[in-house]
Structure 1
């Protein structure tokens, strides 16, 4: 019997990076605000100045911070952020602050990229890629039946479609697209009956690509995105109502 190796623990720098990134995306540190001094951050996280500096350097590289002499480390406006950075996408999606503009823009990006990728996949997918797609779909079926993680299987399914499009630029976008899709699937999978409801839509896309039916693949992809958008809007309304009740 083989034992599963535990996931590697995040380094000190990664822990600080993750928390500060979340703090910025949640609005704890708003654009234009100067971060607390290094010494204060060291005290908060109980790590050395070197660890704090490396985390700040990483966030600066993502366009979120700007280190200014005689001023300090300033939080930049989101328009300067690397919005395709998977970490930035994840932090924004996980924020307790609902961002309707981000939700809208993510869904618009999906509409721009995925249906065209599905059409190309129907045209260009190799036999190996079609088999991989069918395997990912089978994993989704098992997850709906209670065996396995649905979001992981769903991500594998859509990643295969993007890869099968055979476009080098789409492949370069895959890491960012995976983060975008994960944010969307997390909400859909939490909706009671959501995964089971969308399963036939995924099968339609899988079958269209297997049959090299470009138009059917494009339409199946659009239907999936429309359903995801409806789920996200429903969740947005629920969260807004909950916030109004608390207020």
Structure 2
């Protein structure tokens, strides 16, 4: 084997470096500054060159960040007038990125109440539909999610909430309603936050596990009335738990 080829096989290959997160870090930082009212609704963001100087980043990074926030309803670009911060009611607060960047600053009691209202409008009827339409695999998936809730360690709220979210995702899918199925993806991030808040407000999840178990049994028995009642009980429990956090 030629010496050059031998060296090529023997010399270690340089490891690829992770791609920088400058753009994503900046858009998250800018989102937090907006929600913390450094740039309140109705105000105009600093000029691109000023943001470049303050954060030591390129104009390309700034422009991409502004496009990202505009796509999520947080800001609006105005030709020759700068970038306006929009009112909070116009923000897409169901967006997973925004909830991640802005955290508890936007996940307030009003948003949690709105999520609960939406669930009350949808889930009991979805449970009724699922009692008729759920396949055996749907019921099995719902049971597995319930088992994961039941078996989560008392100190592992993250695991319990993840299983809780999966339970409600499966329920909407089992309804067979295409709009409900799409809705499960739209509200997933907000539902996760809402359930996490409710689950962290109590010392034990026993009652939550019990009412979810009744819904699984109602679907297994194809009992529409019992399915709706169990869903309503789940929502009543969530409302009570959220109330304890106020």
Q: TM-score scaled by structure 1?
A: 0.81
SS at match of 1:67: strand
Q: Per-residue deviation at 1:146?
A: 5.8
Unaligned runs of 5+ in 2: 1-17
Deviations, residues 104-145 of structure 1 (Å, cap 9, x unaligned): 222111111111111111111111111111111111112145
Alignment map for 1:136-147 (pairs within 5 Å): 136-144=145-153
Partner of 1:68: 78
Alignment map for 1:41-80 (pairs within 5 Å): 41-80=51-90
Partner of 2:48: 38
Tell me how far apart the structure 2 counterparts of residues 145 and 80 of structure 1 sit (CA, whole Å): 38
**Does 1:151 pair with 2:151?**
no
**1:208–1:217 Cα contact (<8 Å) kept:** yes
Tell me how far apart the structure 1 counterparts of residues 172 and 230 of structure 2 sit (CA, whole Å): 14
**Does 1:225 pair with 2:213?**
no
State how many pairs are aligned. 228
Residue 176 of structure 1, aligned match among 180, 183, 186: 186
Partner of 2:116: 107
**Does 1:127 pair with 2:136?**
yes
Partner of 2:32: 22
- Structure 1 pair 160–26 and aligned structure 2 pair: CA distance change class (3 A): farther
**Does 1:82 pair with 2:92?**
yes
Q: Per-residue deviation at 1:191?
A: 2.3
Partner of 1:234: 244
Partner of 1:166: 176
Unaligned runs of 5+ in 1: 1-7, 238-247
The two structures, once aligned, show a CA RMSD in angstroms of 2.5
